[in-house]
């Protein structure tokens, strides 16, 4: 008998096809009354495939679930303590998206410092004949402070080194396998950096980690790059810092209330804004989908997922 797997949220069609072929697969979105469906059939499911969400209520509604496989590396919307209390393994998709997120990070740094997007808008508005676009900032050789030296942070550092950049990082504690300079104080790292790159997990522990004090330390020649979670940055404080030119600019892939983006941010030419596309390439999304499937397959065949979230 194939294990019964509940799908929460929409997933890539190729992944849904794999799930349907390998398991007894049902999508919660197809049910007219999700609450009634779970009350009647929730106990039948052995696993959950999710687009990144699983709270304690969902787990309680599926009391026999022993594995949750999530599409994405972030687990801030999955109740890990509730899963642990129920003996549920949670799998995510680390490593396979490192390169694309790191690539985008460097692209955002170049865009915000050189004004690529803003200068294109200048050209398209027909303003070039009136005069040259204002001078912008050099990227190579600058100082980069990385907030969160995990897998993706290290991939960003590797790329920054190719631009002859000087690197330091801030974590809760020093990382053993790096020679990069460690800065215990986030504020002092911001004060030192030309670019402050944020790549920490979301959740309560990091909510508004980047606040007005950190932004003031970054200063009028510094740039903030956020490829982590929108909740990590105090968005109103960032808007004020950008409007008042207390920082030079910001490049953001994530926002506090996605997909809603503050109108004040969208009005600013010193803010580069993209719609959470860090892992959004054909190759990486295919690899992420495969890991979601492989985590389930591995659990049902060996009792362990391939990549367990923590």
**CA-CA distance, 79 to 261, in Å (whole number)?**
26
Task: Please tell me which residue in 114, 143, 191, 276 is annotated as part of the active site.
Answer: 276
Phi, psi of 144 (to 5 degrees): -120, 125
The rounded percent of the chain whose pLDDT value lies above 90 is: 99
Q: State the alpha helices, DSSP H only, in the chain.
A: 13-22, 34-41, 56-61, 80-85, 98-114, 116-124, 151-162, 186-192, 212-218, 235-243, 263-266, 282-302
**Could you check whether the bond before residue 14 is cis, i.e. omega within 30 degrees of 0?**
no
Task: Please tell me which residue in 161, 221, 258, 283 is annotated as part of the active site.
Answer: 258
pTM of the predicted structure, to 2 decimals: 0.94
The rounded percent of the chain whose pLDDT value lies above 70 is: 100
For 215-241, write each residue's pLDDT tens digit.
Answer: 999 999 999 999 999 999 999 999 999
Does residue 243 sit in the same domain as residue 214? yes
User: Does residue 307 lie within any of the structural domains?
Assistant: no
What value does the mean pLDDT take over residues 49-70?
98
User: Does residue 203 lie within any of the structural domains?
Assistant: yes
Does residue 253 sit in the same domain as residue 104? yes
CA 34 from centre of chain: 28
Task: Please tell me which residue in 25, 170, 229, 285 is annotated as part of the active site.
Answer: 229
Does residue 244 sit in the same domain as residue 121? yes
Of the pLDDT bands very low, low, confident and very high (cuts 50, 70, 90), residue 251 is: very high
- pLDDT of 52: 94
**CA-CA distance, 82 to 60, in Å (whole number)?**
9
**pLDDT at 310 > cutoff 90:** no
10 is catalytic: no
Q: Is 136 exposed, middle or buried (0-12, 13-18, 19+ CB in 10 A)?
A: middle
For 75-115, write each residue's pLDDT tens digit.
Answer: 999 999 999 999 999 999 999 999 999 999 999 999 999 99
Chain-wide mean pLDDT for the chain? 97
Q: In terms of residue numbers, what domain contains 266?
A: 98-273
240 is catalytic: no
In this structure, what CATH number is given to the domain that contains residue 223? Answer: 3.40.50.720
Tokens of 6: 């509940």
Number of domain units in the chain: 2
User: Does residue 309 lie within any of the structural domains?
Assistant: no
For 156-215, write each residue's pLDDT tens digit.
Answer: 999 999 999 999 999 999 999 999 999 999 999 999 999 999 999 999 999 999 999 999
Q: Under a CB-based contact definition with an 8 Å cutoff, are residues 310 and 151 in contact?
A: no
């Amino acid at each position: 008998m194939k294990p019964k797997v509940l799908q929460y949220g929409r997933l890539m069609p190729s992944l849904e096809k794999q799930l349907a072929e390998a398991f007894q697969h049902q999508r919660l979105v197809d049910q007219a009354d999700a609450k009634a469906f779970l009350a009647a059939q929730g106990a039948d499911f052995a696993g959950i495939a999710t687009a990144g969400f699983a709270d304690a209520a969902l787990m309680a509604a599926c009391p026999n679930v022993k594995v949750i496989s999530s599409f994405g590396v972030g687990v801030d919307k999955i109740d890990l303590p509730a899963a642990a209390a129920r003996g549920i393994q949670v799998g995510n998709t680390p490593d396979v998206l490192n390169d694309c997120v790191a690539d985008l990070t460097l692209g955002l740094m170049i865009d915000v410092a050189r004004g690529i997007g803003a200068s294109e808008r200048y050209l398209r508005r027909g303003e070039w004949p009136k005069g040259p676009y204002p001078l912008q900032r050099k990227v190579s050789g600058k100082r980069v402070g990385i907030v969160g030296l995990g897998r993706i942070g290290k991939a960003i550092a590797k790329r920054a080194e190719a631009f002859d950049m000087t690197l330091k990082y801030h974590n809760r504690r020093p990382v053993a396998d790096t020679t990069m300079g460690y800065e215990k104080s986030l504020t002092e790292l911001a004060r030192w950096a030309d670019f402050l790159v944020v790549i920490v997990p979301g959740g309560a522990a990091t909510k508004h980690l980047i606040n007005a004090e950190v932004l003031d330390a970054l200063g009028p020649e510094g740039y903030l790059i956020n490829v982590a979670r929108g909740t990590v940055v105090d968005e109103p404080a960032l808007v004020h810092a950008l409007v008042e030119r207390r920082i030079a600019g910001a490049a953001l892939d994530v926002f506090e209330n996605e997909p809603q983006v503050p109108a004040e941010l969208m009005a600013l030419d010193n803010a580069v804004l993209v719609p959470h596309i860090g892992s959004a390439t054909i190759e990486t999304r295919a690899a992420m989908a495969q890991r979601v499937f492989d985590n389930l397959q591995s659990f049902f065949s060996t009792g362990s997922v391939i990549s367990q979230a923590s």
